[in-house]
A and B are shown apart, each in its own frame.
Chain A
Amino acid sequence: QLQLQESGPGLVKPSETLSLTCSVSGVSISTSTYYWGWIRQPPGKGLEWIGSIYFSGSTYYNPSLKSRVTISIDTSKNQFSLKLSSVSAADTALYYCARLRVTTIGFDSWGQGTLVTVSS
């Protein structure tokens, strides 16, 4: 049974770096069939793709966030991570990790999401 679980601090101070990890269970993250990605949703707003990573380490980022985002993968731990630097209140959101099928570019499995609030 595939499961994705986000973890990390729920409160981050302005100008600091937001760090989240997605732990994947039930399937190996080292597969050529999928990308692994992060999506966020500010309260009351829509979905925004942050970026995705392939098991090889190749990364793809939303241009609007690219200068502040780093996504990495640890195949030994079967997890991948998100770092977003220089955060502001505008980065307050529900952050989801999800699996993205390479052939269809559809996110077919999602974590439950974790709320990150940026506040001093």
Chain B
Amino acid sequence: QSALTQPPSVSGSPGQSVTISCTGTSSDIGLYNRVSWYQQPPGTAPKLMIYEVGNRPSGVPDRFSASKSGNTASLTISGLQAEDEADYYCSSYTSSTLVVFGGGTKLTVL
């Protein structure tokens, strides 16, 4: 089971927008809309930010949006704030094993 591919790091200045990509295969992201995104600030447990490609749980700011095209999902954070600095992980349903995570992306707010 290969992990989904994410860039190791991205950065942006306050107020800007950043996009984090998550590339899978035609057996996971490409085939199913069960893609989730998690935010993990240092020293804390991950928090679900997006589910089913582009849906936000209650309480997640609408500055967080996500989409999917082919085998690649993307998370966009607009109006970047200092509190958004964290590690971000994608995950997808895969029929072969159930769940696969991405390697994680460290977001730095400059």
Binding site for B on A (CB under 8 A): 35, 37, 39, 46-49, 52, 60-64, 96, 100-101, 104-108, 110-113
Contacts and interface: CB of A to CB of B under 8 A. Distances in A.
B76 to A, nearest CB: 18
A47 B104 contact: yes
Contacts of B3: 46
26 contacts: A37-B99, A46-B3, A46-B87, A46-B102, A46-B103, A47-B40, A47-B89, A48-B101, A49-B99, A49-B101, A60-B97, A60-B99, A61-B97, A62-B97, A63-B97, A96-B45, A100-B99, A101-B51, A104-B34, A105-B98, A106-B34, A106-B51, A106-B52, A107-B36, A107-B46, A110-B47
Contacts, number: 70
